[in-house]
Chains A and B, each alone.
Chain A
Amino acid sequence: MTDLSSSRRRALQCFAAFSAAPVVWPALAAEGGLPSAAHSDSSPQWERVAASLFAGRTPRAGRDVVQLHVPLRAAYGASVPVKVVSALPQTPQLFVRRMWLVVDKNPSPLAAVLDLTLEVGQADFETRLRVDEYSHVRVVSELSNGELHTDSRYVKTSGGCSAPPNRDALHLIGKTVLKLPAGLKLDQPTPADVTVVHPNDTGFELNNVTVMYIPPHFVRSIKISYDRRKVFNADLDFSVSENPTLRFNFVPHGPGELRAEVTDSKDASFVGTLLVSGAG
């Protein structure tokens, strides 16, 4: 291999890292001029998103109803762990009926909209999001009485030089796996994981062989049911990381089938199921 092709490959490796793990190009960041913000600050992007989503209603900021847990610096900007913790159990008197996850500075800030039922039991969620640059990540919870509550965290991400992402498992796209990481708890909120093998291509990633952008191809929705009863529906965007994963709760009252129905942006449909029987 010539020096030129070797250099080109290395340059591509760096480009691949920055496009696959959508992160800001640090070489363009002015020394000493990187933006900094408090976790509770607003941003112009958030003002626009909030105006569009909530039409004049102002979500109440605080951590007494909903909390967002995100590291200040994650290992990778392409896979930032995000955890939402709700203070209220899901009861008929008062429950979380909708939840929004927003990454202010991403090209498409609205990462997920969750439409919840009482079957969730406890409206706690975990997932991994792409964070494109220094940005606030936000959650907004809408309660059944119409109240909106929000919490936010400021996240710093960047990149470096790395090998291109592994794309050897494209034949597995759509494989949907459900697990109960803590076993079964009858009549109680039971944690479950759903993972969809999917590249969740953003449309901003560079193919380092063709030097062309990879077209967007991402999971659009995941609908979770148990024993044919809706638990929640999630509308998702490409801000969710590769191989989208959601940890959620559901309340099993007896044996049944936990089911995930998945559709992606090319209108492909996938189904994953887990037969749940007996106490764990």
Chain B
Amino acid sequence: MTRWLTPLRTWGLVIALWASIAAVAAGLPSRYGATVVQPAGVPDRYEFDLSDALRRARAEGKRLYVYLGADDCPYCRKYEAFLQRNADVLVPHFAKDYLVYDLRSSLQVQADRLRFRIGNQSWSYKEFMQRLGDERARLLVYPSVWLLDAQGKPLMQMPAGTGTFETVPEQLEILRLEQ
């Protein structure tokens, strides 16, 4: 009996801690000027339309920084908090080359319900990743970031999650497309 109590208590503490982290407002900090994209087709599917993003990128000659976060994802809050803390340094670098798009999802939305749309074409998560040649087709991880050019082509293979660019130098590495 005692053997089961300890892990249960541990889980309870972990859940409480994560719930408190997740309770912080979701989304990229406003200073980054991100365009928020809400999903269509909810709850059967979460379809994010990137048509406007690509149109703007072509018109303004900029790259796209596409962020997929979930409202109940502790690691998303952690990355967003990092961006908030370092906005003075990072915002000019984002603004110079990138249009930032903030796709709002939820952890319960896994790859089978997540979709992307460009114009009148719509793809499942896996199909869209395969179309991009992105290795992350295998597993959807929150948060995810895609760096796209104005034609919607990936600028480099990004890692799952954001844990490898949560320092200022590493975020700048990403923005400079260092591989």
Contact = CB atoms under 8 A, between A and B. Distances in A.
A196 B30 CA distance: 48
B22 to A, nearest CB: 9
B141 A161 contact: yes
A78 B32 CA distance: 32
Contacts of B72: 10
Assign chain A's interface to a size class. 35 or more
Interface in A117-150: 134
Of A4, A74, A161, most buried by chain B (CB within 10 Å of CB) is A161
A31 B75 contact: no
Nearest to B163: A158
Interface stretch (A21-29, A56-64, A179-187, A223-231): A21-29
A75 B158 contact: yes
Assign chain B's interface to a size class. 35 or more
Contacts, number: 121
Contact of B160 (A8, A11, A34, A159): A159
Q: DSSP majority for the A interface?
A: loop
Contacts of B134: 75
A157 B159 contact: yes
B129 to A, nearest CB: 10
B78 A26 contact: yes
Contacts of B162: 158, 160
A2 interface: no
A162 B19 contact: no
Interface string A23-56: 1101101011110100000000000000000000
Interface of A: 4, 6-8, 10-11, 13-14, 17, 21, 23-24, 26-27, 29, 31-34, 36, 71-77, 79, 134, 156-163, 165, 211
Interface of B: 7, 11, 14-15, 18-19, 70, 72-75, 78, 82, 85, 107-108, 110-111, 134-136, 138-144, 157-170, 173, 178-179
The 7 closest A-B pairs by CB, nearest first: A158-B163, A160-B161, A26-B163, A75-B135, A160-B141, A156-B164, A73-B159
